[in-house]
Structure 1
């Protein structure tokens, strides 16, 4: 007769004690620190979050137990065996010949080439603080694109639309799915330079796969009638997602799959987390929370459920795209072959919950698959803000840059639209000549917009011409040949922002000067010149 009593070994007792030590203070702190602890909804959310964290900790405990059991078994075999020292490595890898225990399939059954390198499943590159214990982990895979990269614009949007409290409970894992370490280091450096504070506190991590992680992609079977190039592209994407999810699953409670060319809505972290906790507190057994209707964007999973999905993706990595595999996994869980498709759809809807309106929008037009143009948009996202209008001081404006259609500089300055210019060239200017010279308190020029994030001004300076020419030191390094003083420039994200020294006196003209040829058109989506009011 098999006993139902679980024997608490010293290791299990220690792990159980650690769980209690961790969870009890967390429970007390969550309940005490909540400003609305007297409200039933707040209490339910706290309990739901603790429940989710308990599941996460239990999964980590099971992983550690598996490793401990495996090591214990191998150690006992070594102690009991009479093998000589040269045979020890063989014994560890293959076990005893009279071992009768079963061994379940693992990643090596689906990707046997990983056996040939011990570091094939370790990130080849890592930049970050190694934080864990987050509420939400955002996975952002990126690859080298032939046309244009949206990665920095996407990260800027995600960070800008998080509050400080949201950022404190979030980790963004950027997975550079390339084996060229020089390129990976270049991307990581760009991120570090553009987001120094976020990297310093561990909000952003950057990883890349080992050169030995991918199989020989040239030997893949062609499936679904796709050409070989497309099969390689979608298979690699499957493997990329599996690696990223496997890395992220121990870092937080919830995991959200994103892409490197998306927009998010303000407070999206709070919205997603609140929705997830509400479903947990109401005892709804969901597998996917869908915050975007397109592809694999905005799909949230409990981190404890990721092994199911990773295993499924790896089993069929050569057969179908990742979004199809997710649909098949959910169908396998709930669909009854004895019933019709309508019943299947209803059953899937209980595990795959859709949130409306969508929190993410796809903005990229050039896919990472060569030659593929992706124009799909999520209609549930709503209208995207393409420009920000302001009331600026009276001025006449002019530029040599030819506008596209009705998107003129005059309309942009009046706050009626954005300026869209065709291919700026070195020496091109955008001049704002004030009707009456003014003291300028501050200025802001934002280039690019949500639909065209890379149509920015690059290598462009902000210059002013004081009304009093006598006060200018024409030999200074920041003075142009025609007497303008350089006071700023556009950064790598296409923004120029700053103040004007009151010592320069009243300003007659403010202008932007382009210093290098651009491969793209250029958009000014925001022009804001603030006049210093007399005291």
Structure 2
């Protein structure tokens, strides 16, 4: 654990260090806690910065120095561990937050993400893999005068994965593969006084106290679509990205939910869970699970599997029972181009989809 004291007043820093040594003497002695502080020479001249985005000269100076503070901390931390998570001294945390973060990170393949977000506020609760810190620091050093760090993070993702010849929707999909949001938030900001002199900031994370109404998994990159009428912005895209549950008005026969993979993948198993704690009756009824193999001909499959083939090339491999559909995918159908949920009979209730889990090849290593 690293404590950064970013004040250049030596007397102030020494006073804080003395207090921390009293409070955490064992942790400091064991090396669990380290206290660092940048020398005054680390900071460039911050007196003649260009005012941008309507911010005052003092605020521009404050946010610019803050960017440099974060860089100093990340540079020191990059050889200290496997992951790096940014916290502040004026937050509270949810019970068992550490194990929650650890388990969530370990279920993800290291190649699939760059940022895990455990709070929606600014830079609080943002977690990175240690090898990525070098790139992040280099990028921030180039633009530290221009924007706050949370804005710059989005630009890093754009540079890494967005194709200028593609539309904004495609870009957002690509960035979402690298930036994964965990809900509900694990950290809540409680401080009122900012390090910017005279600034009172009543920042709170609205997701902190919310119950978990969806279960989050990392699925293959895909384009999603549906014929169902979405209710109040609870879109299928948000569900697949792990941001929200999908909520639709009464399904009718012929409606569908489609997950079309960006690249065909080998899928071992699937789980779709409908309904949630607040609306347990809003489940998918009379709905089947279908897959579209990459190859339409020459499949070495059993007669039983052949009989499940539909006219459009999809194979019906399962159905919802009591709001849940789960099962294994015949390996001979792989690689899979798409999953489809098809409504085969009119429903009397609305439908919520709160969990989509597709266990695929890169997660099986």
Measured in 1, the distance between the counterparts of 2:189 and 2:204 equals: 6
Structure with more contact order per residue of length (Cα contacts < 8 Å, sep ≥ 6): 2
Aligned partner of 1:254 in structure 2 is: 83
CA shift for structure 1 position 181: 1.5
Measured in 1, the distance between the counterparts of 2:112 and 2:187 equals: 24
Structure 1 stretches lacking a partner, 5+ long:
1-171, 384-535
Measured in 1, the distance between the counterparts of 2:29 and 2:92 equals: 24
CA shift for structure 1 position 269: 2.0
Aligned partner of 2:158 in structure 1 is: 331
Aligned partner of 1:200 in structure 2 is: 29
Aligned partner of 2:112 in structure 1 is: 285
1:162-198 C-alpha deviation (Å, 9 max, x unpaired): xxxxxxxxxx101000111211111111111122222
CA shift for structure 1 position 284: 5.2
- For the pair 1:370 / 2:197, whether they are aligned, the reply is yes
Aligned partner of 1:178 in structure 2 is: 7
Aligned partner of 2:71 in structure 1 is: 242
The answer to which structure has the higher helix fraction is 1
- For the pair 1:187 / 2:16, whether they are aligned, the reply is yes
- For the pair 1:304 / 2:131, whether they are aligned, the reply is yes
Of 217, 220, 224, 2:46 maps to: 217
1:240-296 C-alpha deviation (Å, 9 max, x unpaired): 00000000000101000111211112222222121111102xx65100011111100
- For the pair 1:230 / 2:66, whether they are aligned, the reply is no
CA shift for structure 1 position 364: 0.7
2:175 aligns to what SS in structure 1? helix
CA shift for structure 1 position 200: 2.3
- For the pair 1:265 / 2:94, whether they are aligned, the reply is yes
Measured in 2, the distance between the counterparts of 1:223 and 1:376 equals: 22
Measured in 2, the distance between the counterparts of 1:218 and 1:236 equals: 11
2:127 aligns to what SS in structure 1? strand
1:396-419 C-alpha deviation (Å, 9 max, x unpaired): xxxxxxxxxxxxxxxxxxxxxxxx
Runs of 4+ in 1 over 4 A off after TM superposition: none
1:407-449 C-alpha deviation (Å, 9 max, x unpaired): xxxxxxxxxxxxxxxxxxxxxxxxxxxxxxxxxxxxxxxxxxx
1:320-352 C-alpha deviation (Å, 9 max, x unpaired): 111100111112211222222222222111000
TM-score normalised to the size of structure 2? 0.56
Measured in 2, the distance between the counterparts of 1:199 and 1:328 equals: 37
1:370-391 C-alpha deviation (Å, 9 max, x unpaired): 22221121121117xxxxxxxx
Measured in 1, the distance between the counterparts of 2:13 and 2:199 equals: 24
Q: Is the contact made by 1:286 and 1:350 (CA closer than 8 Å) also made in structure 2?
A: yes
Aligned partner of 2:146 in structure 1 is: 319
Measured in 2, the distance between the counterparts of 1:377 and 1:179 equals: 29
1:353 aligns to what SS in structure 2? strand
How many pairs were matched up? 211
Structure 2 stretches lacking a partner, 5+ long:
211-365
1:188 aligns to what SS in structure 2? helix
Q: Is the contact made by 1:262 and 1:363 (CA closer than 8 Å) also made in structure 2?
A: yes
- Structure with higher Rg: it is 1
Measured in 1, the distance between the counterparts of 2:39 and 2:203 equals: 32
1:446-505 C-alpha deviation (Å, 9 max, x unpaired): xxxxxxxxxxxxxxxxxxxxxxxxxxxxxxxxxxxxxxxxxxxxxxxxxxxxxxxxxxxx
Q: Is the contact made by 1:224 and 1:319 (CA closer than 8 Å) also made in structure 2?
A: no
Aligned partner of 1:125 in structure 2 is: none
Aligned partner of 2:284 in structure 1 is: none
1:215-241 C-alpha deviation (Å, 9 max, x unpaired): 111022222332210110000000000
- For the pair 1:353 / 2:190, whether they are aligned, the reply is no
CA shift for structure 1 position 206: 0.7
Which range moved further: 365-374 or 242-251? 365-374
